[in-house]
C-alpha cells in the first residue's frame, strides 16, 4: 500500500485541516462536507475526518474541489 513515511495515506489532509480551522467563522467538518456536496462532491463528516487524519486517500477530483472551497491551488494543498 502507498503510504507516506509517517504512515498517512495522503499528502493534503493536514493542510485541509489547517485551512478549515483557519476559516472565519469557524467551519466544522460537517459544514465542509456540506459545502463540498453543493459543488457535487459526495463526502460526509466521517470522510473529512479520515482525510484530515491521513487515514483515507484523496482523489484528484476531491483535491480540486478542496482547492476551490479554500481558494488555493492544488499545489498548495499538496505541499
Q: What is the pLDDT of residues 5-26, one digit of tens each?
A: 899 999 999 999 999 999 999 9
Q: Are 14 and 54 in contact (CB under 8 A)?
A: yes
pLDDT averaged per 10 residues in sequence order, the chain, 79 residues = 90 97 95 98 98 97 98 96
Model pLDDT, residue 2: 86
Cα–Cα distance list, 11 to 25, 34, 39, 40 (Å) = 26, 22, 22, 22
Q: Are 69 and 32 in contact (CB under 8 A)?
A: yes
Model pLDDT, residue 68: 97
Amino acid at each position: 500500500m502507498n503510504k507516506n513515511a509517517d504512515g498517512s495515506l495522503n499528502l493534503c489532509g493536514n493542510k485541509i485541516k489547517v485551512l478549515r480551522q483557519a476559516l472565519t467563522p469557524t467551519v466544522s467538518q460537517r459544514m465542509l462536507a456540506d459545502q463540498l456536496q453543493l459543488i457535487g462532491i459526495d463526502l460526509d463528516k466521517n470522510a473529512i475526518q479520515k482525510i484530515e487524519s491521513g487515514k483515507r486517500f484523496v482523489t484528484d477530483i476531491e483535491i480540486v474541489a478542496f482547492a476551490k472551497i479554500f481558494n488555493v491551488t492544488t499545489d498548495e494543498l499538496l505541499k
